[in-house]
Amino acid sequence: MGNFYFDEMVKSFSKLEQVDAILLAGSRAVQADDELSDYDVYIYTSNDIPVEVRKEITDQYCSYMEINNQYWETEDDGVLKDGTEIELIYRNIDWLDKELNRVVNVYQASTGYSTCFWYNLLNSKVLYERDGKAGILIDKYSVSYPGELKRNIISKNYPLLNSSMPAYRNQIKKALARNDIISVNHRIAEFIASYFDIVFAINEMPHPGEKKLINIALHNCNKLPELFEHNLTALLLQISSANAADNKQILSLIDEIVERLTQLLVQEGLAG
C-alpha cells in the first residue's frame, strides 16, 4: 500500500495461525482517500487473537494504540509511526458469512444500514487470505441485488419515516415541542438512516455506510427523489434552530422529503 509501517503490520498479522484473511476497506480500498482518511483494516479470524499478541505487533508499528476497544466491535485503534490513523477490526469470518446470508439470501431488512456488511465486503481489497477464504466469500456474495430484499427494506423503513405510530416524524414533532434538541438530532439521524436505506434499495445498491452519503448517491444512483440534495441539505441546516418558525420548517422539510420519496416509489412500482 506504499506505507512501510502499514505493510509490515499486515505481514506480521498474516503470520498468525488464527488469521484467515485481512481486508482493507473504506476510502483507501477504493482509492477515494484524502488527507483525513485512515486505514480501515478487517482481520478475519477463526479463533480470537490474544490481546497481548495484538499489542506486541502493534507496538512495533504504531506510535499510539488503544488495545481492545469494545465500543462497537473488537478493535485496536491508533496511529501508525508515520502519523496515519488506523483501525484494526476483528471479526469471525463464519459470523460474517451468517450475517450476509441473513440479508442477501434470506432477505432480512434492518431499520437503516440493512446492507452495509455486504457493501463492506464487496468493496474491500484482499491483502491476505489463507486457503482463499476471503475470495470464496466475495464470490459467494457477488450476486445481483435480490428484488425481495429491496421490497423488505422499503416495507420495514418507509412506515417509520412518517406514517406509523412510532414514526420518526412523530417523535421529532414531540421533541421540537419540548425544545429537546438532543432528541431532535437523534431522531433526524434515524430518519435519514432509514431514508438512505430506502434510496439505496431502490437503486439496488448495497448501503455504503455513514460517510459522504449525499455525494455517493449523486454519483452512483440513477434513481433519486426530486430535490434530493437540496431538501436534505436544507433539513440539516435547520436542525440547530430553536424558534417556533424554524421548528415548523423542519417538519415541512421532512414532509417534502417523504413526499418526493413516495413519488419515486410510485414511479418505480414499489409503493403500497
| Residues 57 and 90 sit within 8 Å (Cβ to Cβ) | no
**For 50, which DSSP code?**
P
- Quote the pTM value: 0.90
Q: Per the structure block, which three cell numbers stand in for 190?
A: 434515524
| Sheet containing 39-45, strands listed edge to edge, beginning at the edge strand earlier in sequence | 62-69, 74-80, 85-92, 39-45, 19-25, 125-129
Please tell me the predicted confidence (pLDDT) of residue 1.
47
Q: Per the structure block, which three cell numbers stand in for 103?
A: 440479508
**Regions of the chain where pLDDT drops below 50:** 1
Q: Strand 62-69 and strand 19-25: pairing?
A: unpaired
C-alpha to C-alpha distance for 92 and 164, rounded to whole angstroms: 37
Is the CA virtual torsion 140, 204, 155, 25 positive or negative?
Answer: positive
| Residues 230 and 215 sit within 8 Å (Cβ to Cβ) | no
| Residues 66 and 48 sit within 8 Å (Cβ to Cβ) | no
C-alpha to C-alpha distance for 2 and 10, rounded to whole angstroms: 12
Please tell me the predicted confidence (pLDDT) of residue 238.
84
